[in-house]
Amino acid sequence: MSKELSGNYWINKAVKIGSNRAFQNQQILLEKPELTTDEFLVALYREIGMEYPKWFKMDRLSKLGMLAAELVLGRPGGNLADPFGSAIVLANRHSSLDTDRKFVEQLKEIPSPAVFVYTLPNIVTGEISIRHGFKGEQAFFIDDLCPVDFMVNYVQTLFEEGNTHTCLFGWVDILGEQYNATLYSVSGVQEDSVHSIPFTSKNVYQYFDHEQGAVS
């Protein structure tokens, strides 16, 4: 059952990438149903003008998470006012299984070190941190379905402990051609009188369900 939390914190921006479509808040940025997942991720990278050559070396989970983070946070360059007060809390269903399978396949010959280093799901949080300068709390949870209530409570607790002032929060999952990244920027400041909405489980759920249906 969804637990409503206090409205002291705000979702200031939300991004959703899935089924070859990318949304920023409610606005669709890119839709390319004819592409494969890999092709769509590259198309989105080009579309948003993300200039970061290292992105091409990442695994698909990190590529997806990096694109979603870029859409939420914008280009790096002093946009994090408080790096040590900026947290990242993510979750997914398939951990790093997409990359783990690729690595196991490579064990028949000589496996790639560049693949091996991505055989953990929380590497994506590190990649986002390096790119955008996060130095605060980080957590990555794995569950069958997105544990929205648990995660909202977790982030609320971080805020109430006093060290965290802003949080990149959400779901980043990929396995084969199935993928979904839904990220939110949350803080105690209502940054946009139109788009900012209270940080509640209900509002988080609603955006998860937006357009693409439930997170699977």
Binding site for another protein (CB under 8 A): 53, 56-57, 109-110, 112-114, 117
Report the 3 state secondary structure along 45-81: HHHCCCCCHHHHHCCHHHHHHHHHHHHHHCCCCCCCC
- Among candidates 211, 172, 167, 143, which has minimal Cα distance to 66? 172
Q: How far is the CB of 53 from another protein (least distance, A)?
A: 5
- Identity of the residue, 33 or 53, whose beta carbon is nearer to another protein in the bound complex: 53
- Identity of the residue, 99 or 187, whose beta carbon is nearer to another protein in the bound complex: 99
- Identity of the residue, 49 or 113, whose beta carbon is nearer to another protein in the bound complex: 113
**In whole angstroms, what is the distance from residue 181 CA to residue 60 CA?**
12
**In whole angstroms, what is the distance from residue 92 CA to residue 216 CA?**
10
Q: How far is the CB of 176 from another protein (least distance, A)?
A: 20
- Identity of the residue, 5 or 120, whose beta carbon is nearer to another protein in the bound complex: 120
Q: How far is the CB of 58 from another protein (least distance, A)?
A: 9
- β-partners of residue 87 are 167
Q: How far is the CB of 108 from another protein (least distance, A)?
A: 12
- Among candidates 178, 186, 169, which has minimal Cα distance to 213? 178
Q: How far is the CB of 10 from another protein (least distance, A)?
A: 37
Q: Give CA angle at 44 (177, 88), nearest 5°.
A: 80
Q: Give CA angle at 115 (112, 121), nearest 5°.
A: 155
- Identity of the residue, 108 or 193, whose beta carbon is nearer to another protein in the bound complex: 108
